[in-house]
Amino acid sequence: MSFESFSRSSVEGDRLLESPSEAADAEKGQEGRPLADSIQSTWYNTVRLWAKKPRQNIPSLKVVHIKYVLVVFATLFAVLLLSSLGVGLPRNPWKPSQVVQWSKPEGFKIIGLVFFGRRATVEILDCYLKKNLVSNGGYLDEVLFVSLKATEEDDAWLDQLLLSADEYQKVAAKGMGYREVWNKTVERHHMYIKIDDDLVYLSDNAIPQLVYSKMKHPEALDIAANVINAAHLGWMHYHIGAIHSYLPETEPSFSKIMNDPSYGPSAWRASALPTWNATGREENVTDYNRPPPYKGHRWLPLRENDTNISKTPISDSEYDTFGPNWEKWTIAAQTHYSFLQNLEQDRLDRFYFVEGDGREAIWNMAYGRMNINLLAIWGDDVRDNVPFSTFDDEVELSRDLPLRLNRPLLVNTYVLAVHLSFKPQKHIYDTDLISRYRAYANEMVCAADNQIRTE
């Protein structure tokens, strides 16, 4: 029986073999499978048969006890054996495998292409990039920072950042548009990972999973990430239960000066936040796009099992390129705080909306426009089609070019990337979210000698 047979019980139900003959039938077709898979499947079915078999004519309670002791010892032995073979229990097909050993493919370079302009977020992104460098055991042979719209001060800061890693390089592109950058920068025979400079979180195997999917799916022009705070996918995340009930606090808390763990440079956990209290200003709750209450404010959980989520900003969500998920900073804020809650609870699987095989879970955009904040594409596919027909590289790479070539954009939904904000969502910078993502990165991602400055 293949791993895929064990889908979520709430959807398909657990399949129990009814007889030893069925167990034998299930083992047919095992030839050619890895030894570990065969052992795993056979052991799993045997234990389930043993557990289900009617217990009749058992001579004594002592025999029952001995039988259960044997089951326990057999189970422990099987787990140890499977662990030694690098195999776990049958996996949940809605979660990426935790035992996949990723190995960087050879014969071509994997190059990160970062469109730089915002120091505040690149300080966070830098830790994720360094973690993925070849020199640190990752996949990125080079990272090209394309300086398009940076201020002189941020450009000078970037020059210093380039000294911190041999793989970091700078592409001067002042005055260019995105179309010109792709034409000037991309070369054949390499794979490029396009990375927006305001990504503040990447899942652990984001780059390896993008590369894997791009190599596995030559029929696709490009492979995109499952982006948190995205125009279209935000609607998906809401309707699959990944977003929770949050609202902005209406005034500063006195606990801020009392060593409260929900404040400060190390605060990112949602569990430390107090429960939201409107303090008599409930009439503002439905004003979803109101100005922020004050600079550096937090969003607080309602903690009512999301029964009032229809009264929060996310209820305005639409599957639309320039709809509320793109426009409204309040929807973005609620999405971010929900993500941090899921992250703390180790429930990022709430963002997966396609069943996968442990390495990828593919969603076909079917030639619809898609945010390309994190995307993998072959250099040859770019060179064969530059200059782009439009100045908007997102339109070109997610919709127009896939349509002309009959090669769709695919999303590997296991690959999570958190996008801080769209242009209309400027009030995100009036929350404490950058501080929270910085705190998480410092604690969980950044090397000891690469801690992000705190304010």
Nearest to 276 by CA among 252, 299, 244, 243: 299
Integer CA distances (angstroms), 242 to 233, 334, 341, 362, in order: 11, 11, 10, 18
The verdict on residue 157 lying in a domain is no
Q: Give the DSSP H or E segment for 391.
A: none
Q: Is the pLDDT of residue 265 over 90?
A: no
**Residue 254 and residue 304 in contact, taking contact as beta carbons nearer than 8 Å:** no
Q: Judge whether 150 lies within some domain.
A: no
Give the integer Cα–Cα distance in Å for 87 and 190: 33
Assigned domain for 427 exists: yes
Q: Which of 84, 112, 144 lies at the terminal end of a domain, its last residue? A: 84
More confident residue, 85 or 216: 216
The answer to whether residue 159 is domain-embedded is no
Domain contains 160:
no
State the average pLDDT over residues 369-392.
95
pLDDT band at 334 (very low <50, low <70, confident <90, very high): very high
Instruction: Summarize the confidence of residues 139-156 as an average pLDDT.
Output: 93
pTM: 0.78
Domain end call among 69, 84, 99: 84
Q: Which range of residues forms the domain containing residue 53?
A: 3-84
pLDDT band, very low/low/confident/very high, at 279 (cuts 50, 70, 90): low
Q: Over 90: is that where the pLDDT of 412 sits?
A: yes
In a domain, 19, yes or no: yes
Residues 213, 69, single domain; the answer is no
For residues 133 and 140, give the distance between their C-alpha atoms in angstroms, rounded to a whole number: 5
Percent of the chain with pLDDT over 90: 64
State how far Cα 220 lies from the chain centre. Answer: 20
Q: What are residue 82's DSSP bridge partners?
A: none
Residue 81 clears pLDDT 70, i.e. is over it = no
Furthest CA-CA distance within the chain: 87
Beta-carbon contacts of residue 448 (< 8 Å; ≥ 6 apart): none
Q: What domain count does the chain have? A: 2
CA nearest neighbour of 221 among 367, 348, 408, 40: 408
For the cut 70, the answer to whether the pLDDT of residue 51 exceeds it is no
Q: Tell whether 343 is covered by a domain.
A: yes
* For residue 4, pLDDT beyond 80: no
Contact between 262 and 273 (Cβ < 8 Å): yes
On whether residue 163 sits in a domain, the answer given is no
What pLDDT, on the 0 to 100 scale, is given for residue 150? 84
State how beta strands 362-364 and 409-419 pair.
antiparallel
- Is the predicted pLDDT of residue 86 greater than 70, yes or no? no
Of the three residues 52, 84, 116, the one that is the final residue of a domain is 84
Secondary structure (DSSP) of 303-360 = -STTTTGGGSGGGG--S-TTSHHHH-HHHHHHHHHHHHHHHHTT-GGGG--S---SS-
Lowest mean pLDDT among 37-41, 187-191, 199-203, 301-305: 37-41
pLDDT above 50 for 205: yes
